[in-house]
A and B are shown apart, each in its own frame.
Chain A
Amino acid sequence: MAEDGGKRAHLSPPGPSAGELTHIAHENYSSSQENKIQSHSSKLVTRPNVGDESNDGPPPPLPPRPGVAPSPQAATTKVQSIDVQTLQFPDGSRGTFQTPGARAMSTPVQLAANSGSSTPGRSSTVDADDAMSVMSIVAPTLRPPGDLASLMVSDMSRKSPAWQLLRSQSASVKPFETVRLDVRDSLADFAQEFEPVPGTSEQGGLGDEQRLAVWKSKLKHYMILSSSGKPIYSRHGDLSVVNSFMGVIQTIISFYEGADNPLQGFTAGGTRFVIVTEGPLYFVAISRLGESDAQLRSQLEALYMQILSTLTLPNLTSIFAHRPNTDLQKPLAGTEPLLSSLADSFTRGSPSVLLSALECLKLRKSHRASITSAFLKSHAGGNLLYGMIVAGGRLVSVIRPRQHSLHPSDLQLVFNMLFESGGIRSGEGENWIPICLPAFNNRGYLYMYVSFFDAAENTAPSSTSNSSDAVPEAIPFSPTHPTPQATSSDSIAIILISPSPTSFYDLQSTRNNLVSSLTKGPLLSHIRTSIQSGRPSLTTQISPGTPLSHFLYKSRANVQFCMPSSSPQFDSPLPRRKLMSLYHSLHGAVHARHCHLKVLHSVADDSTSLAWITPTFELYCVAGPNVSRAAMTQGANRIVQWAKREEERLFIIGGGVF
């Protein structure tokens, strides 16, 4: 095993096993340098910025295979590169590739003794050759003090007051705060990402070339076209800009289709093109954000699901069976905002999409139980399939029949429609929406009853008064329009889904029953309190004093995740995207095919991160660039303990079943 890993660390390009070869071929922008970095991860700090395609693409970190005896002393460096990948967690979960013997154990201990810096002391165990080879690929830019220390031979650095001072500073550096002057930030234009490409019709508008330049400056494109080359959807630019490209894309794809060797994706410069063919439709994602093929593919699948949820599969098939040249834009009319908001949530980076999991509103177990039982009691027939209370995209309560469970991809479509697209804004109206939930059944429509009520304290839902016999006050017509004051983040929606198109009034009375039992007791105020307090803060509530800055914790059994408040560090779109890019690369690395990583510790210029996969949970966490592996491990353990302790508050376990 050790030999295996060691060789990879030294060979460039690395000699991966047959299984990995395919993957690397896919990720052909990942350099050999990257593979070196991966295997030396805790040592090297060469990664350019996160988000730069050349580094964060998720090539598999080449886990050494078990079963080979450790190599002799000559292989010090090889062992070194391996125990980097080895983390000892108290629950006994270790990488499949840990080195036997004391060496693997010794590193964390040593690091703990050095508390805070990632490398000092390591130099003593690394032989000179290795140090050379390591240093040669460290870019001579802002490096954490650890590497400076490893340049010096003696231990004196550890005692020098200057060094102590530096080190005490270094631990407090937050992720993504280091600035590299030599590398242009590929995300520099992210702020303009969502601005529309100006149209031709605008007076005094830009010329074609300028518009094209704006269009090309976008970091991410999604395009949908029919197999006959008719454009269906493009995230950026109107058809005059995009039309010719659609033609080119159609030609390329159909060339490979014709050869019976469908094109999956290709790379041009730092841009990755990924293609998904679904029946008569071509989906293309063009990304400079460094996502993996699998991630881009799942994003395209989600767009396909959105189209199905509008049309249903039999409909879509029959449209193209009758007329292959159909312009699908017409049947899809009115759903562009849904596709765009879905696409933008991918571009911004959505933990829910990345983890294919849902997020719940944190509530006390007893409160959630009372809400769910009130929900079950309110159930007034109408052939209910699913009932949900959702607050700002986070589930509060779910009721469902025993034989059906919820599919995250379906709920993603529903939440996108209700909370992201602005298609249905919160107000006092009630909505009755035919929708196909493709993961549940892609052949037919379900009917969704949606009613919002504001989380603000004062507004009582109107229908409670409807239910009484009192004559409503006569109010002048126009001012009765509900004002859309509540933003989507703090509005509460009741969603009731039925297969019956005529069950509106039954579901309406279910809703009215529920609203009155929520407002009668303290339950609604429990929900509001939780909404107002937001996600728990990592540093003050979850794990005081933690070196970590952010994490995602997914409970695999419940298909749900939780995360701490993003404020203040990751509030704005750019740091958020950097954080999400890092999560994407971690996720891509640990979920790469043929890769059985359990723990991945990755150190870069601007951050350190850890992914930890067990059968029950997945944890991804991020810290500043100089946080030691030991501190990181400890922080990760604290989060896992916290999540276990709070499990029944963070997650809905089972939900209400009727």
Chain B
Amino acid sequence: MASRGPPGARGGMNTRFAQFKLVLLGESAVGKDQFDSYRESTIGAAFLTQTISLDENTTVKFEIWDTAGQERYKSLAPMYYRNANCAVVVYDITQASSLDKAKSWVKELQRQANESIIIALAGNKLDLVSEQPDKRAVSTADAEAYAKEAGLLFFETSAKTAENVRDLFTAIARRLPLDQVGPRHSRPGQRQGVSLNPESPNTNVGGPCAC
């Protein structure tokens, strides 16, 4: 804790640097793990940072929590999304059921997470569909309509070929309140919100997990 700089924007001469918390959610097999390609299967959650530059003098650093998709870890999810500034909910465009799962994640986020959270819906495995169009199970129009209705950013991506992945993160970054973020401006995205969270359900050691 001590060695880390405070989150938020720091102004250099004329550069802006902002740091945000992002959580990746989705069913286990949607290929969400390919967003951070060093993971093969998702056990627990991974924490990684990703820095992108929006323009010459704006840099956005994402602290990404990549959660495991398995049911048994579901009770841990609130710990990761509670103070997130943004969330990427991933589904698999070759599997209709994964969109339903994604919808339930969106609902949960809208109900439980930070009010100002920016949610992006990502239909993954675009690479599979461009090779074999008949594999598609969720039409772009349907998903897009849902995203519009729920107020989500929407992209179809291929984490494997990195298609649209950067666009997705850039779009999120542009939606984030870069200008409001200042050192004095205490955002809910600060990490002590995560680190001191005793009321997080079902995560206490010794207690049986309800999942």
Residues in chain A within 8 A of chain B (CB atoms): 310-312, 314-315, 318, 330-331, 333-335, 337-338, 380, 417, 422-435, 441, 443-446, 448, 462, 466-469, 471-478, 480-484, 499-506, 508-509, 512-513, 516
Task: Choose among B38, B61, B72 the residue that contacts A482 (Cβ–Cβ < 8 A).
Answer: B38
Instruction: Write the chain A residue with the least CB distance to B5.
Output: A469
For the complex, give the distance between the alpha carbons of A335 and B187 in Å: 37
Q: Does B195 contact A445, Cβ atoms closer than 8 Å? A: no
Q: Return the chain A residue nearest B170 by Cβ.
A: A477
Closest 10 A/B residue pairs (Cβ):
A433-B44, A474-B53, A427-B38, A467-B3, A314-B208, A501-B203, A429-B48, A478-B162, A444-B205, A477-B166
**Distance from A78 Cβ to chain B, minimum over Cβ atoms (Å):** 59
B48, closest chain A residue (CB): A429
B195 pairs with A315, CB closer than 8 A: no
Chain B hits for A446, CB < 8 A: 205
Using Cβ atoms and an 8 Å threshold, which residues of chain A touch B15? 471
Instruction: Mark B163-191 against chain A: 1 for CB-CB distance below 8 A, else 0.
Output: 00110010000000000000000000001
Taking A335-B43, A478-B165, A505-B195 as given, write out 18 further A-B residue pairs in contact, using a Cβ cutoff of 8 Å, ordered by the A residue number: A315-B208, A334-B28, A334-B41, A425-B39, A428-B38, A432-B44, A441-B206, A444-B205, A444-B206, A469-B5, A476-B166, A477-B165, A502-B195, A502-B203, A503-B195, A506-B1, A512-B4, A513-B3
Contacts of B145 in A (CB 8 A): none
B85 at the interface (CB under 8 A from A): no
Q: Are A423 and B76 touching (Cβ within 8 A)?
A: no
Residue of B nearest to A430 (CB): B47
Select one of B10, B47, B200, B208 contacting A502, CB under 8 A: B200
Docked-complex contact B191 and A505, CB < 8 angstroms: yes
Residue among A314, A380, A481 having the largest count of chain B Cβ atoms under 10 Å: A481
Decide yes or no whether B46 CB sits under 8 A from chain A: yes
- The answer to whether B51 and A480 have CB atoms under 8 Å apart is yes
> Do B162 and A425 touch (CB < 8 A)?
no
Most buried by A among B43, B51, B59: B43
Taking the closest CB of chain A, its distance from the CB of B29, in whole angstroms, is 9
For the complex, is B45 an interface residue (Cβ under 8 Å from A)?
A: yes
In contact, B59 and A474 (Cβ under 8 angstroms): yes
Given A480-B50, A504-B47, A506-B195: A334 in contact with B40 (beta carbons within 8 A): no
Residue among A422, A472, A501 facing the most chain B CB atoms (10 A cut-off): A501
B39 with A429: CB separation less than 8 A = yes
| Interchain nearest-CB distance for B42 vs A (Å) | 7
The answer on a CB contact under 8 Å between A502 and B79 is: yes
Could you give, for residues 196-211 of chain B, a 1 whenever the CB lies within 8 Å of some chain A CB and a 0 otherwise? 1110100111111101
The answer to whether the Cβ of B68 comes within 8 Å of any Cβ in the partner chain is: yes
Give the shortest distance, in Å, between B119 (CB) and chain A (any CB): 20
A471 to B48, CA, bound (A): 17
Chain B residues, Cβ within 8 Å of A428: 38, 48
Quote the shortest CB–CB distance from A482 to chain B (angstroms).
5
Interface SS of chain B: loop
A residues in contact with B91, CB < 8 Å = none
* B73 on the A face (CB < 8 A): yes
Contact A471 B17 (CB under 8 A): yes
Q: Using CB atoms, name the residue of chain A closest to B196.
A: A502
Contacting pair A502 B206 (CB below 8 A): no
Closest to A477 in B: B166
Do residues A425 and B45 form an inter-chain contact, with CB atoms below 8 A? no
Q: Which of B52, B70, B211 contacts A474 (CB under 8 A)?
A: B52
Known contacts A431-B47, A484-B38, A504-B194: A318-B70 contact under CB 8 Å: no
Answer whether residue B134 sits at the interface, using C-beta atoms and an 8 A cutoff. no
Inter-chain contact A444/B207, CB cutoff 8 Å: yes
A571 to B135, CA, bound (A): 45
Q: Is the CB of A430 within 8 A of B44?
A: no
B192 to chain A, nearest CB (A): 8
10 examples of A-B residue contacts, CB within 8 angstroms: A423-B41, A424-B43, A424-B46, A428-B48, A430-B48, A445-B203, A446-B205, A467-B3, A471-B17, A481-B36
Distance A428 CA – B43 CA, assembled complex (angstroms): 16
| CB <8 Å contact, B209 and A448 | no
A475: chain B residues within 8 A (beta carbon):
51
The answer to whether B3 and A434 touch across the interface, beta carbons within 8 angstroms, is no
The proximity string for B residues 20-45 relative to A, scoring 1 for CB distances below 8 Å and 0 otherwise, is 00000000100000001111111111
Report the separation of the CA atoms of residues A337 and B39 in the bound assembly, to the nearest whole angstrom.
Answer: 13
B195 and A499 contact, CB distance less than 8 A: no
Interchain CA distance A467-B45 in the complex, whole Å? 22
Say if the beta carbon of B141 comes within 8 Å of chain A. Answer: no
Q: Flag whether B49 is at the interface (Cβ < 8 A).
A: yes
Q: Is the CB of A505 within 8 A of B38?
A: no
Question: Who on chain B is nearest to A313 by CB?
Answer: B208
Check A435 against B3 for contact (C-beta < 8 Å). Answer: no
| Minimal Cβ-Cβ distance residue in B for A338 | B43
CA distance A128 to B142 in the complex (A): 93
> Looking across the interface, which residue of chain B has its beta carbon closest to that of A512?
B3
A-contact 0/1 string along B71-114, CB 8 Å cutoff: 11100100100000000000000000000000000000000000
A432:B209 contact, CB within 8 angstroms: no
- Among candidates A334, A380, A429, A513, residue contacting B70 with C-beta atoms closer than 8 Å: A334
User: Residue on A with the closest CB to B208?
Assistant: A314
Query: Within the assembled complex, what's the spacing in Å between the Cα atoms of A483 and B36?
Result: 10
Distance in angstroms between the alpha carbons of A157 and B109 in the assembled complex: 88
Contact A333 B71 (CB under 8 A): yes
Is the pair B71, A505 in contact by a Cβ cutoff of 8 Å?
no
Q: Give chain B residues whose Cβ lies under 8 Å from the Cβ of A314.
A: 208
User: In the complex, are the beta carbons of B48 and A502 less than 8 A apart?
Assistant: no
**Which interface residue of B10, B41, B42, B162 has the most chain A CB atoms within 10 A?**
B41
Q: How far is the CB of A464 from chain B (nearest CB, A)?
A: 9
Give the shortest distance, in Å, between A409 (CB) and chain B (any CB).
Answer: 19
B12 touches A471 (CB 8 A): yes
- Chain B residue nearest to A334 in the complex (CB): B70
A582 to chain B, nearest CB (A): 34
A431, B1: Cβ atoms closer than 8 Å: no
Given A466-B4, A471-B59, decide whether A499 and B43 contact each other with a Cβ distance below 8 A.
no
Residue among A445, A509, A512 with the highest chain B CB neighbour number at 10 A: A445
Distance in Å: Cβ of B28 to nearest Cβ of chain A: 6
